[in-house]
Amino acid sequence: MKKELLMASALVSTLGVASVAQAVTATTAGSLKIGAEFESADDSTTDSNTVMDQSNFNISLSETTDGGTTISSSFEIVDEGTVAADDDNAIKLTFSDGTALELLNAGNAAGTHAVSVPGASGEQGVGGTSTNNAPTGVDFGAGSTALGVEWHSAADFLADGLKVSASFSTDNGAAKSITARVESSFGVGATYVTTAGDTTLTIGGGVSGSEVVRTGTQLTADQEGFNLGISAVTGDLTVGVAYGDGDTFVDEGASVTSQVDGSVVTAGVSYVTGDITLALNTTAGEAKDSTTIGTAGTTDDSHDATSASVTYAVASGVSAVVGYTTVDQNNEGISSTDGGSAWYVGASMSF
């Protein structure tokens, strides 16, 4: 309780520096995506096709106090068949010296600095219901709770092109149960940007750790890990590669929790030529999982995916997309029937 009261006091006292405001400045953005996906699963599953109709509307709120501190937040409404609001929104304070502090729903600094690797456009994907727990994102070990803070340095921290962040989250107050959950977390991350001739290099990554509990008992293998990546931009060409390694946990349902020890590597390239953007990405994840708490898994899960897309800029804010994905999975060392391939043909409009 003491930690929660200190967090609340810091939030109230910090926001108290603002003058009484009539209304903050609001900006909006959004997009509409519509197209058709054609999914071809393994030989034992019937092929399918689906109309993908997705839209989102984002509202960003910002205002600056008389003392030069900018207070900002945002929220998003997403419609993918059912309307849902994104309530994972931090309050961000950006100070006059360039540093920033995010309060509540701040996330994990290790994930903040994960390098963006070019990926294919389109809404194609291969669905499945297996218990394959191989990770597909390099920041899979970066856990957090809603009651968290994240500090960001100003640009050129200690060296030109360097930015760093640190985060901490604590018990979110949820009732202890037989389902495992993150109780507290920490994270540190950094991004360094430099140039080499005509190429801009971005190097980033982070380290994170979390305590995971189930019925009030800390698990022997918590959520933790690291990620490291690099991207290079030369003119219209962008290439990138990133790697993540660590432990995490998965709620398998029916009060079953799996501990997962995994790693993942992803690489991608994109090239812009006129109104056309070409993109290619490959991701390979592997893991050992176990539903017996404290006992390591002995057989491998794996998830290997390759995606490609062609995007054509039809007009300002309007694009036509053709995308393709192929997925190969192994579950507990055995080839899984949840692999397959998918095509997507569609368009997007954004503002």
CATH number for the domain including 80?
A: 2.40.160.10
**Residues 198-228 as b or e (16 or more Cβ within 10 Å = b):** eeeebbbbbbbbbbbbbeeeebebbbbbbbb
- Determine the Cα–Cα distance for residues 191 and 17; give it in Å rounded to an integer: 31
What 3-state DSSP class applies to 165?
A: strand
What confidence tier does 173 reach under pLDDT thresholds 50, 70, 90?
low
- Determine the Cα–Cα distance for residues 112 and 306; give it in Å rounded to an integer: 25
- Determine the Cα–Cα distance for residues 233 and 142; give it in Å rounded to an integer: 27
Single-letter amino acid code for the residue at 142: A
- Determine the Cα–Cα distance for residues 59 and 70; give it in Å rounded to an integer: 16
* Residues 206 and 189 sit within 8 Å (Cβ to Cβ): yes
pLDDT at 128 over 70: no
Q: For 198-225, what is the mean pLDDT?
A: 82
pLDDT at 348 over 80: yes
What confidence tier does 171 reach under pLDDT thresholds 50, 70, 90?
confident
pLDDT at 26 over 90: yes
**Which residues sit opposite 39 in a β-bridge?**
48, 342
pLDDT at 124 over 60: yes
* Residues 92 and 73 sit within 8 Å (Cβ to Cβ): yes
pTM above 0.75, yes or no: yes
Count the Cβ atoms, other than its own, within 10 Å of residue 180. Answer: 24
Domains held by the chain: number: 1
Single-letter amino acid code for the residue at 1: M
pLDDT of residue 322: 96
pLDDT of residue 166: 97
By CB neighbour count within 10 A (0-12 exposed, 13-18 middle, 19+ buried), where does 49 fall? exposed
Q: For residue 250, give the nearest of 132, 339, 139 by alpha carbon.
A: 132
Full residue range of the structural domain in which residue 322 is found: 2-350
- Determine the Cα–Cα distance for residues 230 and 116; give it in Å rounded to an integer: 8
pLDDT at 133 over 90: no
End-to-end CA distance of the chain: 44
- Determine the Cα–Cα distance for residues 96 and 73; give it in Å rounded to an integer: 17
| Least confident range of 7-11, 115-119, 268-272, 327-331 | 7-11
Element (DSSP H or E) covering residue 26: strand 25-41
Neighbouring C-alpha atoms within 13 Å toward the C-beta of 233: 12
Percent of the chain residues past pLDDT 90, beyond the cut: 52
pLDDT of residue 177: 63
Q: For 159-186, what is the mean pLDDT?
A: 83
Of residues 212 and 159, which shows the higher confidence score? 159
pLDDT of residue 175: 58
| Least confident range of 103-112, 127-136, 191-200 | 127-136
* Residues 40 and 47 sit within 8 Å (Cβ to Cβ): yes
